[in-house]
Amino acid sequence: MAHAHTVSAAPRKGFWAVLKDWLTTVDHKKIAILYLLGGTIFFAVGGIEALLIRYQLMFPEFDAIPAQTFNELITMHGTTMIFFVAMPLVFAFMNAVLPLQIGARDVAFPFVNALGFWLFFLGGLLLNISWLFQSVPDAGWTAYVPLSGPDYGSFGVNFYVMGLQISGIGSLIGAINFIVTVVTMRAPGMTFMRMPLFVWTSFITSALILFAFPAITVGLVLLMFDRLFGANFFDVTQGGNVVLWQHLFWIFGHPEVYILILPAFGIISEVVSTFSSKRLFGYSSMVFATVLIGFLGFMVWAHHMFTTGMGGIANALFAVATMLIAIPTGIKVFNWIFTLWGGKIRFTAANLFAAGFIPTFVMGGVTGVMLAVAPANFQFHDSYFVVAHFHYVIVGGIVMALFAGCFYWWPKMFGRLLDEKLGKWTFWTFYPGFHLTFFIQHFLGLQGMPRRVFTYLDGQGWNTGNLVSTIGSFLMAVGVIIFLVNVFKTAAKPAGAPQDPWDGRTLEWTIPSPVPEYNFKQLPVVRGLDAWWVEKSEGRKEMTPAEPLGPIHMPSPTILPLLMSIALFIAAFGFMYANQPFDNGFIRFLFEKYVIAIAGLVMFFGCMIARSLKDDPGYHIHPEELEGEGVHQ
């Protein structure tokens, strides 16, 4: 049932209409904002967890937070930050920017895209709701067995097992969506080697997600079977093997960190290039390096397991493979520096963060090479040296890039520019605060401070370092607060950002800010790398269209993705609480007989069947509804 759709100057909608719009959207631009919002909410949760951790560690033998709660805090902090902050924020930018940069009107699978978001959100909700149930996972974000298993683990680990399975499905299908989008939906003239680097990194990242997530899904399923159904995968008394979990986890876990960092590399490439007013130095080798990093990323997982006793051959192989990744990574760093070199660099807030990324990420990278030296790793592993290393690459790397991406693409997403001054204040509090927090931790680790410790004894020489680290963390919090103030202040401003505020080089800057529902009135012809720059350098004011004006087909909104995610959320509870001794007989019956669990699964598969049976005709936006200007016949 196609119907005409008004695009311009829509009447102001009521609250419920707006809510319905956001809950049923399949528009990648709105989904991007949902990911941004979800990621930010979880960032606040994870950030508070971090501050509590640092607070407890401020003084030796401090008794602010008991050991059990502390173990819950570190588990939730790590799990939330990696799965429910970094990943969704990366997906936010991929959704907001990728289709625009390839000159596409939409992604390949809008429904799947929306489903991916809601699965992520409900998964994150399930994990964090454990706080309300006072049954919080406490075995670390790595959940090693048997500590996370049925014999020694707490009930809270179930929230981890279920929450991550649900959100993992979301990540997987989201990745499939982006792979197909990049392969089939590029504008005419955009060959693979004319794609912006952010598209390349998103593409490779999606391939990594596709191959890495099934491994952890299997691991979580096995753990779930052990915990809930009496299986023996990790029960050594029944022939199980505890190291198996580690292999499955890290075969996912290592590519996961490249999944996080590659899009960050893409953002940095875009920002540095734009604000130097220079094309990216060494584009082909940047692409090649990205592919190589992605590929090698699957060959090194056991460098997280050097101390498990795999033997000399395994340790040597994984050590050397790990060191090799430094080479393509180094290539990228030099290419960024030489993009800046000879340019006319503008230090907007976005570029401050991008520039700050470079030395910080290099520091994190070199400690990574140090960690790769297997026998040295026997000293570093599970100490604060590792904590320092990964925070340098994740916070000093990914978070810095995410901030850069925010300042860079905010006008395109929201039609408003974030305040530059507040942005600089954010940088000058967050960045020094970050170094203050984590630099000293390298030395704490070398002095023998293990990680995941709720306290430390006096007289070991660790007091000052921990105090300094805690002070730094509060400075970082100030930076984040300033950023949030900036966001709210900007939201209150009227929209009206220019189409191309940064003198950009890529296609997203050829369309209005914010982007209209249909992205491109007419798909553009791409004549080279940095497609917009090519046109601008020949004096053109707009892209050449590749097609005449015509009706634009849009997919229909649908409530099914939200319903399917809620269904799995319910099913998860049904399985988790199946053997709980409820007082109320009826409730006990519902759970014991798996009524709730099955109801959730029936709802999930029912929605899938409904989706299969009813084909979506979508609706059309007609040329008469599009603004008059810039229309070519």
Partner 1 sequence: MKRWYKAGRTALILAVAALLMAGCSGALDPQGERAKEQYFLIVLSFAIMALVMIVVFALFFIAIIRFRKRKGDTGYPEQVAGNHKLEIIWTVIPFTLILILAIFTVTYTFKHDEVIAADEAVNVQVTAHQFWWEFNYADYGIRTAQDLVLPENSWVNVDLTSADVIHSFWIPQLTGKTDTNPGLTKTVAFKTGDHGVYQGKCAELCGEGHALMDFKVVVLTEDEFNAWVASMQEPAPAPTTPAAVAGEEVFGNYCISCHAVTSDKMSLGPNLKGFADRETVGGFRENNDTWLREWIIDPQEVKPGATMPAFGDALTEEELNNLIEYIRTLK
Partner 2 sequence: MSDVHAHAHGAHAHDGPLPPYPERATLDGRNKILGFWMFLAGETVLFGSLFATFLALKDSVMSGPSGQELFSLPLVALATFILLTSSLTSVFAVQAMHRHDKKGILVWLGVTVLLGLGFLILEIYEFVHYVHLGHGFTTSAFSSAFYTLVGFHGAHVVFGIVWISLIIGQVASKGLTVVTAPKVYVTSLYWHFVDLVWVFIFTVVYLMGKLG
What stretch of H or E contains 619? strand 619-621
Q: Is 184 in the site for partner 2 (CB under 8 A)?
A: yes
With CB under 5 to 8 Å by kind, the binding choice for 217 among partner 2, partner 1, none is partner 2
* Distance, CA of 289 to CA of 294 (rounded, Å): 8
Q: Is 550 in the site for partner 2 (CB under 8 A)?
A: yes
Tally Cβ neighbours within 10 Å of residue 252: 24
Q: Which does 498 bind (CB under 5 to 8 A by kind): partner 2, partner 1, none?
A: none
58 binds partner 2 (CB under 8 A): no
- Residue 539 neighbours by CB distance under 10 Å: 6
Nearer to partner 1, 324 or 599 (CB): 324
Of 155-163, 221-229, 275-283, 334-342, the window that binds partner 2 (rule: CB under 8 A) is: 221-229
DSSP assignment of 500-525: STT---SGGGGS-SSPPTTS-SSPBP
- Rounded to the nearest angstrom, the gap between the alpha carbon of residue 90 and the centroid of all alpha carbons in its chain is 4
C-beta of 185 vs 401, nearer to partner 2: 185
Residue 232 binding result from partner 2, partner 1, none, given CB thresholds of 5 to 8 Å by partner type: partner 2
What mask, x for binding partner 2 by CB under 8 A, covers residues 92 to 111?
-------------xx-xxx-
In angstroms, the CA 407 to CA 349 distance is: 7
* Binding residue (CB under 8 A) for partner 2 from 152, 192, 229, 589: 229
Q: Which of 609, 627, 631, 632 binds partner 2 (CB under 8 A)?
A: 609
d(CA 430, CA 436): 10
Residue 51 binding: pick among partner 1, partner 2, none (C-beta 5-8 Å cut-off by kind): none
CB 415 within 8 A of CB 278: no
Strand stretches in 67-130, DSSP E: none
Q: Is position 546 an interface residue for partner 2 (rule: CB under 8 A)?
A: yes
Residue 288 binds partner 2, judged by CB under 8 A: no
Cα 173 to the center of its chain, rounded Å:
14
Strand partners of residue 326:
none
Least distance CB 163 / partner 2 (angstroms): 19
Three-class SS of residue 282?
coil
Residue type, 84: F
Measured from the CB atom, the residue of 110 and 368 that comes closer to partner 2 is 110
358 binds, among partner 1, partner 2, none (CB under 5 to 8 A by kind): partner 1
Contact flag: residue 227 with partner 2 (CB under 8 A): no
Partner from partner 1, partner 2, none contacting 309, C-beta within 5 to 8 A by type: partner 1
Q: Which of residues 133-172 bind partner 2 (CB under 8 A)?
A: 172
Q: Which two tokens stand for residue 42?
A: 């979880």
Q: Are 205 and 226 in contact (CB under 8 A)?
A: no
385 and 367 in contact (C-beta within 8 Å)?
A: yes
Helices 28-56 and 463-492, axial angle in degrees (round to 10) = 150
Q: Any contact of residue 221 with partner 2 (CB under 8 A)? A: yes
Q: How many CB atoms lie within 10 A of CB 316?
A: 11
Q: Which of 613, 624, 629, 633 binds partner 2 (CB under 8 A)?
A: 613
Closer CB to partner 2, residue 238 or residue 379?
Answer: 238
User: Considering the complex, what minimum distance in angstroms separates the CB of residue 544 from partner 1?
Assistant: 21
CB atoms within 10 A of CB 19: 11
Distance of alpha carbon 294 from alpha carbon 262, whole angstroms: 8
Residues linked to residue 545 through DSSP beta bridges, in sequence order: 524
What is residue 543's three-state secondary structure?
A: coil
Asked if residue 232 binds partner 2 (CB under 8 A), the reply is yes
- Residues 259 and 164: their CA atoms lie apart, in Å, by 16
Q: What would the x/- binding string for partner 2 be over residues 507 to 526, using CB under 8 A?
A: ----------------x---
530 binds partner 2 (CB under 8 A): no
Least distance to partner 2, CB of residue 250, Å: 12
In the bound state with partner 1, the residue whose beta carbon lies nearer, of 31 and 374, is 374
Residue 282 site contact among partner 2, partner 1, none (CB < 5 to 8 Å, cut-off depends on kind):
partner 1
**What's the maximum distance between 2 C-alpha atoms anywhere in the chain?**
80
Contact 274, 504 (CB under 8 A): yes
- Residue 594 in contact with partner 2, rule: CB under 8 A: no
Is residue 295 near partner 2 by the rule CB under 8 A?
no
Comparing CB distances to partner 2, the nearer of 547 and 592 is 547
Only one of the segments 6-14, 65-73, 180-188, 493-501 lies at the binding site for partner 2 (rule: CB under 8 A); that segment is 180-188
Question: In the beta sheet, which residues pair with residue 450?
Answer: 383
- Write out the residues near partner 2 by the rule CB under 8 A: 105-106, 108-110, 112, 172, 176-177, 179-180, 183-185, 188, 210-215, 217-219, 221-222, 225-226, 229-233, 235, 238-241, 244, 247-248, 251, 523, 546-547, 550-555, 609, 612-613, 615-618, 620
